[in-house]
Amino acid sequence: MRERPSRATPHTVDAVLATATGNELAILLVRNSSERERWSVPWRTPQAGETLAAAAATVAKDALGEPPAWMEQIGAFGDGKRHPSEAEVSVAYLGLVPHDTASPRTGYAWFQVTELPPLAPRQRAMVEGATKAIEGSLDQAPIAFRLLPATFTLSELQHMYELLLGKRLHKASFRRALQAAWLVEPMDEWRSEGRGRPAQLFQYLPKKKRRPHRGVRFDFLYP
């Protein structure tokens, strides 16, 4: 990503790195020296033989010093939209990092998703795709846990879900569903956070077997 090829590059790999700050999602951008836009989603032209996922991991590592806790491809973008590179196609990856461990290298900075600076159109499409992917796979993948530190309170977990879903959840329902899913393990530690009763700490406990949905879901609105 550093070197700018003199002629058209075949494709780029772009990493939309997200974290959750306070009460909003934030995206990591890198400062441009010479581009039309002052900021861009970090990207890279893969070396010969480098896999897409490996290239994305490298981009993330260059930005944060360590690989993200979660990474998945969210698709290929092109369609005539402009990109900082000359490439016709860019493959976008979504990476998630807990906010506490996420210290960007110099030149990189977090931006709230609602206050993003201007981006190249193709990269703006990627960010939109990434936020959709987060919401869409929230109940398919342990997204929320990848945005939290290794240990957390149930209130923190619930707030993370509320942030990602964009709606309030009822405490009792949330905990009942969580218990039924066997996703979380209580630890023998409590944390006192100013006033109020101390909260027990929990850690993520991956599921072993999937229990299929009951019923059929018809939850779409496509034309």
Please list every residue from 42 through 81 that binds a copy of itself, using CB under 8 A. 46, 49, 51-53, 73, 75-76, 78-80
Q: Position 210: which residue type?
A: R
Query: Per rule CB under 8 A, is residue 34 in the interface with a copy of itself?
Result: no
Backbone φ and ψ for 200, nearest 5 degrees, come out as -75, 145
- 42 Cβ contact list (under 8 Å, min separation 6): 1, 14, 15, 17, 28, 29, 30, 59, 60, 62, 63, 108
Closer to a copy of itself by CB, 5 or 117: give it.
5
Part of the chain binding DNA (CB under 7 A), chosen from 20-28, 76-84, 91-99, 167-175: 167-175
Closer to DNA by CB, 141 or 184: give it.
184
Closer to a copy of itself by CB, 5 or 65: give it.
5
Query: Per rule CB under 8 A, is residue 150 in the interface with a copy of itself?
Result: no
Which x/- pattern, by CB under 7 A, does the window 121-160 give for DNA? Answer: --------------------------------xxx-----
C-alpha closest to that of 55 among 107, 1, 9: 1
Closer to a copy of itself by CB, 94 or 108: give it.
94
- Based on C-alpha coordinates, what's the Rg of the chain? 19
- Contact (Cβ atoms closer than 8 angstroms) between residue 18 and residue 95: yes
Q: Position 93: which residue type?
A: Y
Residue 115 carries which DSSP code? Answer: G
Half-sphere exposure of 87 (CA within 13 A, CB side): 26
Query: Per rule CB under 7 A, is residue 214 in the interface with DNA?
Result: yes
Q: How far is the CB of 205 from DNA (least distance, A)?
A: 16
Q: How many residues bind DNA (CB under 7 A)?
A: 24
Q: Which residues bind DNA (CB under 7 A)?
A: 153-155, 170-173, 175-177, 180, 190, 192-200, 214-215, 217
